[in-house]
Amino acid sequence: MRINPDKCVACGNCTYICPMGAIYIDPRIQRATINREECVECYSCYNGLSQEHLNPSFVRFVRKTFQMMRIRFDPEPDVCPTGAFEPDELSWPRLVRRAFSDPRVPHESTGVHGRGTEEVKTNDVSGRVKLGEVGFTIEFGRPGVGVRFRDIEKMSTALARAGVAFEKRNPVTSLMSDESKGEIRADILDEKVLSAILEIKVPVSRTEEIIRLVWEVEKQIDSPVALGVGARCDENGEENVVAPILEKLGYKLERAKTNIGLGRVTNVQTSEQQAREPVGARS
């Protein structure tokens, strides 16, 4: 993303809306400027701000006049008055930033808009997490801090050393150079993204071990970590296996997303597909 200096009037609205705080008014040129090192190409500025297309010279004149008279200008806080934001042509490796930061861009690896996969959201048709298993989503960078792949790799290599397999269709997995070691491509390690998620699945018996491992590694990571834990309920809709383990570890379970099991396979599948992809339908 770039801000056209010929259009920018330094109103400052965009400095507040950048999730990374990467936009500032450069005092030398009196224009809003993007710190490209911190910008994650989330396009929140371009997509989220409403736009007027006022004449920049006119707006600058009005602003200066008001400023001289010490009159507080009170414009709408979510508007770029001159439509000064212009998307850049992104090239590798910088385009990874956008893929992990702009939710409107689907990952080619998953086809899902966002940074993760379908995980337990479609568990009623995918059967991804079965009884006796636990799915983890380990998310970095959120909320509003951002993360570099170098930090994510600290966690992925630790998990790989613990013998954990990564979800194949996850966007981070698709960027690993050696999945068995959890190593991420060297050319993107310094790229910063708004958020990224590692997804794994283990037997319930390993729940505590994995959480303790996450606790240990997250101390070395310069970003908060958000843990999500997915589990299959029994035929009565109860989940009394994983929750007690989490509570024993000190977590107070407040919020969850609950798959209510109304999904079913409706695609017409070839016999070859059916043989290849066993479906965990509702029991």
CA atoms of 85 and 270, how far apart (whole Å): 48
Least distance in Å: CB of 188 to other proteins?
A: 19
Q: Which of 215, 240, 244, 274 binds other proteins (CB under 8 A)?
A: 215
Sole window of 14-22, 29-37, 63-71, 171-179 interacting with other proteins (rule: CB under 8 A): 14-22
Nearest Cα to 94, choosing from 41, 22, 38? 41
How far is the C-alpha of 212 from the C-alpha of 283, rounded, in Å? 32
Q: Which of 37, 108, 235, 272 binds other proteins (CB under 8 A)?
A: 235
Residues 29-68 that bind other proteins (CB under 8 A): 42, 44, 47-54
Taking the alpha carbons of 202, 207, 208, 210 in that order, is the dihedral positive or negative?
A: positive
Q: Nearest approach, Cβ of 219 to other proteins (angstroms)?
A: 7
Peptide bond into 143 cis (omega under 30): yes
Asked if 142 touches other proteins (CB under 8 A), the answer is: yes
Specify the residue, 150 or 185, whose C-beta has the smaller distance to other proteins.
150
Query: Cβ of residue 43: shortest distance to other proteins, in angstroms?
Result: 9
Span from 89-97, 160-168, 173-181, 234-242 in contact with other proteins (CB under 8 A) = 234-242
Question: Residue 185 CB: number of other CB atoms within 10 A?
Answer: 16
Burial group, residue 86, by CB count within 10 angstroms (0-12, 13-18, 19+): exposed
Q: Is 19 in the site for other proteins (CB under 8 A)?
A: yes
Closest approach, Cβ 180 to other proteins, in A, equals 25
User: Is 228 near other proteins (CB under 8 A)?
Assistant: yes
Give me the residue label for tokens 């992104």: 90
Among 2, 6, 21, 87, binds other proteins (CB under 8 A): 21
Contact between 275 and other proteins (CB under 8 A)? no
Of the residues 37, 68, 89, 219, which one makes contact with other proteins according to CB under 8 A: 219
CA atoms within 13 A on the CB side of 278: 4
Give, for 31, the enclosing helix (H) or strand (E). strand 31-34
